[in-house]
C-alpha cells in the first residue's frame, strides 16, 4: 500500500470512528439512525455509467441499477444495516459499482425492516422478489444473490428456503462482511472491538434483537450459520481483517466447505466492515469489487 493510500485509509478509519461507530453506541431512536445513514450515503458517488430507476419487484420496493442494455445476468441484493437501518438509497453507489464491474442488472431491495417488521418479513420480501425475477423470464442460473452485513442472513435464508419450496437455486451467492450469527459469540467480536473502526457489538445486538423477536439468537431461522448448508451454489465471501465479524465469516467458510459447497473466502488486510463501499477512496475496496465482478461473470 502506497503512503498516500495509507494516509487516505487512516483518514477514512478515523472519520468512521468519530461518526458512524460513536453514533451507533448512543441511545438514539431508530428514525434518527436511519436518517443519519441516508445522509451519510450522499458521500458515496454513484457511478455515472449506470441508470437508476425506482421499481417494484414481487410487491417489494427496489431500485433497478443498470449499466448496459439487455444484461444477461441479474443480481438480487439485500442491503446491510443490522436489520433495522439501510435502504436502496444508502447502497445505491455500491449497486452502481457492482453493475458496472459485473455487467449485470442489480435489484437493490428496500425490504421491510425491524423492529416494525421482524423475521420473517425481510426473507419473505427477498423470496417474493426472487420469484418475480423468475416470472420475468430469468432462469435461476442467471440470478446471483448478493448481500452485505445483515443482508447476508437474508440471502442465505432465501437460498435455504428455495429447495424447500421446490424452486431452483441461483447461480451463486456473494456475501460482503456477513452477519449470519446473531449470538455475537465469535472471539473476534471481543478481540477486534477496539481495532474495528466502524461496527460495535452493541449496535449489531440492538438490530439483531429487534429482528429476531422471541426467536432464540442461535435459531437457524435467524442465524443461518447454524443451518445445514448442503447443496448451496458457489459462494464468495469477502471480509475485512479488522472487523469484529471476521471469525463469523471464517466460520461460514468452514461450515460451507464441510457441507461440500464451493467457497472462495477473501480476507482483506487492514480493512473493515463493508469497506467495499469506500471504493472511491480506498484502492483495496475497488479491487475487492473487481473480484466480485469477475466472480459474477464466471457464471454468465
Please confirm, yes or no, whether 177 is among the known catalytic residues: no
> Which residue is it, cell 410487491?
59
Signed CA dihedral, 45, 50, 53, 58: sign only: negative
- Given 149, 177, 223, 279, which residue is catalytic? 149
- Given 67, 87, 243, 279, which residue is catalytic? 243
For residue 52, what are the β-bridge partners?
65
User: What DSSP line would sit under 81-147, residue for residue?
Assistant: STTTS--TTTTHHHHHHHHHHH--EEEEE----TTTS-TTHHHHHHHHHHHHHHHTT--GGGEEEEE
SS percent in the chain: helix, strand, coil, step 5: 45, 15, 40
> Which residue is it, cell 445486538?
205
Please confirm, yes or no, whether 19 is among the known catalytic residues: no
Q: Could you list the active site residues?
A: 149, 243
Amino acid at each position: 500500500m502506497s503512503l498516500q493510500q495509507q494516509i487516505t485509509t487512516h483518514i477514512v478509519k478515523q472519520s468512521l470512528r468519530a461518526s458512524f461507530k460513536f453514533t451507533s453506541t448512543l441511545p438514539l431512536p431508530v428514525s434518527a439512525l436511519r436518517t443519519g445513514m441516508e445522509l451519510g450515503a450522499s458521500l458515496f458517488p454513484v457511478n455515472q455509467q449506470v441508470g437508476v430507476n425506482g421499481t417494484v419487484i414481487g410487491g417489494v420496493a427496489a431500485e433497478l441499477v443498470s449499466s448496459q442494455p439487455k444484461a444477461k445476468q441479474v443480481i438480487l441484493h439485500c442491503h446491510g444495516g443490522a436489520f433495522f437501518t439501510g435502504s436502496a438509497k444508502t447502497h445505491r453507489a455500491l449497486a452502481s459499482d457492482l453493475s458496472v464491474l459485473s455487467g449485470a442488472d442489480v435489484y437493490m431491495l428496500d425490504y421491510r425492516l425491524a423492529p416494525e417488521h421482524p423475521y420473517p418479513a425481510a426473507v419473505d420480501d427477498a423470496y417474493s422478489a426472487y420469484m418475480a425475477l423468475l416470472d420475468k423470464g430469468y432462469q435461476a442460473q442467471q440470478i446471483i444473490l448478493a448481500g452485505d452485513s445483515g443482508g447476508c442472513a437474508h440471502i442465505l435464508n432465501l437460498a435455504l428456503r428455495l429447495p424447500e419450496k421446490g424452486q431452483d437455486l441461483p447461480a451463486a451467492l456473494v456475501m460482503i462482511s456477513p452477519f449470519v450469527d446473531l449470538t455475537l459469540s465469535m472471539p473476534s467480536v471481543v478481540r477486534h472491538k477496539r481495532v474495528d473502526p466502524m461496527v460495535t457489538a452493541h449496535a449489531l445486538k440492538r438490530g439483531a434483537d429487534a429482528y429476531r423477536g422471541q426467536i432464540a439468537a442461535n435459531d437457524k431461522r435467524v442465524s443461518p450459520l447454524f443451518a445445514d448448508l448442503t447443496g448451496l451454489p458457489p459462494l464468495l465471501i469477502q471480509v475485512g481483517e479488522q472487523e469484529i465479524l471476521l471469525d463469523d465469516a471464517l466460520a461460514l467458510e468452514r461450515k460451507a466447505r464441510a457441507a461440500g459447497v464451493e467457497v472462495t473466502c477473501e480476507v482483506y488486510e487492514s480493512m473493515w466492515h463493508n469497506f467495499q463501499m469506500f471504493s472511491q477512496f480506498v484502492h483495496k475496496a475497488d479491487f475487492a469489487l473487481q473480484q466480485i465482478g469477475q466472480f459474477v461473470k464466471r457464471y454468465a
